[in-house]
Amino acid sequence: MLLGRGTEPAADSDYAAVTPWLPDRRRLYCVGDIHGRLDLLDELHDMIRADAEGFSGSLGVIYLGDYVDRGAQSKQVLDCLIGQPLDGFEAIYLMGNHERAMLDFLDHPNVAAAWLDFGGQVTLMSYGVGVGQVLTGRPPEALRDELVRNLPVEHRQFLEGCRLQHREGSYGFVHAGVRPGVPLDQQSADDLLWIRDEFLRSRDDHGCIVVHGHSITEEAELLPNRICIDTGAYSSGLLTALVLEADSQRLLQTGRAT
């Protein structure tokens, strides 16, 4: 369903406002946290294709990270993204904290074993790791070794190639958020991937409108200084795309009655 603006605060005037804009004849579709829900991603891609039909300018799609974990089809989601499913779109892939945790597990399974407890086990099963076995109690190194055997080279290359941020017009695109008061080009990777409270509470001007996921909300939040489009797709069935063009902002969402 095509929507207008999302959830807004009672007093926008408390927030530093940045004027929204993109270059002429440029349209961006920004996709929130997918978390292994290939069914929703396929549905949203169909909506994006239909929405973009007839647009004669430049099209881009920005995925905000967290492609893996929690949902049952992490491997299949990566297969889909690697296959460049949106013809004629410039595709930009950002890294989420879950991709970072998966890469850390591949490199240092004992140190990064916590990944198994916040979605990693489901991802392992999507790669056929431990099928028919109880994963808990198996040494992290054994699980890592089996994952390495089953992980396509293209998947690791894709994960390692994901970017931490992207800028266009008056927008900055990141996975989690930014550290208030720190210029975008000086942000730490940890903050871009993991930050929550300090960023979410901030009403400051971040030098751009920050578009992010990572922190689940029931409805997308379109605020003067930031926009959150993580609507908890893996459990809610609501996968959100923010559509940006010139000074307009609108939403496409799965799981909505038309």
Each domain of the chain, given as residue ranges in start order, spans 2-253
b or e along 82-108 (b: 16 or more beta carbons within 10 Å of the residue's beta carbon)?
eeebbeebeebbbbbbbbbbbbebbee
Give me the count of residues in the chain.
258
User: Quick check: 109 pLDDT over 50?
Assistant: yes
With beta carbons less than 8 A apart as the criterion, state whether 179 and 191 touch. yes
pTM over 0.85: yes
With beta carbons less than 8 A apart as the criterion, state whether 182 and 199 touch. no
For 183-240, write each residue's pLDDT tens digit.
Answer: 999 999 999 999 999 999 999 999 999 999 999 999 999 999 999 999 999 999 999 9
Looking at domain 2-253, which of 3.30.1490.20, 3.30.70.260, 3.20.20.70, 3.60.21.10 is its CATH number?
A: 3.60.21.10
Give the number of other Cβ atoms within 10 Å of residue 138's Cβ. Answer: 15
Q: In whole angstroms, what is the distance from residue 1 CA to residue 32 CA? A: 15
Q: Would you state the pLDDT for residue 4?
A: 44
- Residue 45's nearest CA partner among 89, 75, 6, 92 is 89
Q: In whole angstroms, what is the distance from residue 233 CA to residue 236 CA? A: 5
Q: Which two tokens stand for residue 42?
A: 């396929």
